[in-house]
Structure 1
Amino acid sequence: MGMYTIVVPRPITSKWQILWSWIGAFIGIALVSLLTRFALEGTSLTLIIGSFGASAVLIYGAEDSPLAQPRNLMGGHILSAIVGVTAFQILPDQLWLAAPLAVATAIAVMQFTGTVHPPGGATALIAVIGGENIHQLGYIYALFPVATGAFLMLLIALVVNKVAPGRTYPKK
């Protein structure tokens, strides 16, 4: 006998919710980008990393998800950054090994601490493959850009998701 799976289509997100997601993502990423552009111009520092794009999807577009909650956003990024820096420092000349060590260990640490935030895996990976500017930061990477940028995005998520009708963020 064959096994059949019934696929139930998800309801389409309303145009208003899509607009609120867009507004939140635009303002959140713009804030981090503007601070990088104007406050850090002339330095080798940045407040923006690639994994923040994925965080924006969660905290502005899937704010109901347990993975999008503030504890997960902040804890997942910060712990993963520490793990990634540690992996690079242990194996600085073996990026092929430091990269999977960083991501796999970040997943385990996030699971152990109840802070799973999928973009955290990218944050750990960026600590390994991010280049000399990231490597020179050492553990400061966990505070700046990671914690600072994630916190700024969280502030925007708290405001936008409070103003947007039909949204409750954070979840209790």
Structure 2
Amino acid sequence: MIPATVCAVAALLALVGLGALMHQMLLVPPLAASAALIFGAPALPLSQPRSVVGGQLLSAATGFVVLAVAGSSTVAAAVAGGLALGVMMVARTPHSPAAATAVIVVLTEPAASAFLPLLALAAVILVVVGMVAGLNKVTPSYPSYWW
């Protein structure tokens, strides 16, 4: 329990630093939930790299599509969160924290050219920290599978 907590804190502190550098602190809440899955339940399908990275990116893309079609509102954000779930299910990349990423996109209207690469990097950082922790036997082996 304690090693997983320490790894999650370390990974999230790295993301806070990255977010501060890029002025995108709102990425931290959905990625904190992603970290909880990676370090707290590393064997779950929702925790696997395909779902973490793919789910986050597909949900963000869904958010940008909804933003372009419906604009920024709480109603559009709710629609984006729900549609993100459907997109992840179709793509076989289920990752529940990513639905919040779609909501954040609609509510904050970030520039896709900055947001998407940062999100991809942040998700990959979480996966890499999870892998390193698993390889060093600090936490259970991660990932259980890649694809």
The alignment's TM-score, normalised by the length of structure 2, stands at 0.88
Q: Which has the larger radius of gyration?
A: 1
- In the TM superposition, 1:65-76 aligns within 5 A as 65-76=44-55
Q: Is the 1:63–1:170 contact (alpha carbons within 8 Å) kept by the matching residues of 2?
A: yes
Shift of the 166–91 alpha-carbon distance from structure 1 to 2, 3 Å rule, reads: closer
- Structure 1 unaligned blocks of 5 or more: 1-17
For 1:134-153, what per-residue CA distance to the aligned partner results, in whole angstroms no more than 9, with x for missing partners? x1413542222x11111111
For 1:33-80, what per-residue CA distance to the aligned partner results, in whole angstroms no more than 9, with x for missing partners? 12334xx2xx64458431011001100111011110000000000000
Task: Specify which structure has the higher proportion of helix.
Answer: 2
SS of aligned partner of 2:28: coil
Match of 2:134 in 1: 161
Shift of the 121–166 alpha-carbon distance from structure 1 to 2, 3 Å rule, reads: closer
Shift of the 167–136 alpha-carbon distance from structure 1 to 2, 3 Å rule, reads: closer
For 1:84-139, what per-residue CA distance to the aligned partner results, in whole angstroms no more than 9, with x for missing partners? 1111121115x13311221111101100011000001101111011x3xxx14135
Does residue 20 in structure 1 map to residue 3 in structure 2?
Answer: yes
Match of 1:60 in 2: 39
Shift of the 114–140 alpha-carbon distance from structure 1 to 2, 3 Å rule, reads: same
Q: Is the 2:3–2:138 contact (alpha carbons within 8 Å) kept by the matching residues of 1?
A: no
Q: CA–CA distance in 2 between the matches of 1:100 and 1:106? A: 10
Aligned residue pair count: 145
Letter in 2 for 1:31: A
Question: Aligned to 1:124, which of 98, 102, 105?
Answer: 102
Does residue 49 in structure 1 map to residue 39 in structure 2?
Answer: no
- Structure 2 unaligned blocks of 5 or more: none
Question: Aligned to 1:100, which of 64, 73, 78?
Answer: 78
Q: CA–CA distance in 2 between the matches of 1:102 and 1:157? A: 28
Shift of the 162–128 alpha-carbon distance from structure 1 to 2, 3 Å rule, reads: same
Q: Which runs of 4+ in 1 moved over 4 A?
A: none
Match of 1:142 in 2: 116
Question: Aligned to 1:85, which of 57, 61, 64?
Answer: 64
Q: CA–CA distance in 1 between the matches of 2:30 and 2:110? A: 19
Q: CA–CA distance in 1 between the matches of 2:116 and 2:19? A: 16
Q: Is the 2:19–2:28 contact (alpha carbons within 8 Å) kept by the matching residues of 1?
A: no
